[in-house]
Amino acid sequence: MKKIGIIFIAFFAFGLLGRAQELRCNISISSTKIQGANRNIFRTMQADLYEFMNNRKWTDHVYSMEERIECNIFIQLDEQISSDEFKGSMTVQLRRPVFNSSYETTLLNIRDKDFQARYVEFQPLEFNETSNQNNLTSLMAYYAYILIGMDYDSFSPEGGTEYFQKAQQLVNNSQNAREPGWKAFESERNRYWLVENLLNRSYAPFRQCIYRYHRMGLDQMSDRVEEGRMEMAESLKLIQRVFRMRPSLYILQIFFDAKADEMVNVFSGSYPDEKNRILAILNEVDPSNGSKYEKIKTDNTFNLQTP
pLDDT band per the 50, 70, 90 thresholds, residue 69 = very high
Mean pLDDT of 63-76: 94
Structure confidence by residue, pLDDT tens digits, 243-301? 999 999 999 999 999 999 999 999 998 999 999 999 999 999 999 999 999 999 887 76
122 vs 15 pLDDT, higher one: 122
Mean pLDDT of 87-110: 96
Q: At what angle do helices 135-153 and 161-173 cross, to 10 degrees?
A: 160
If one counts every other C-beta atom within 10 angstroms of the C-beta of residue 65, the result is 11
Residue 7: pLDDT over 80: no
Q: pTM score, two decimals?
A: 0.91
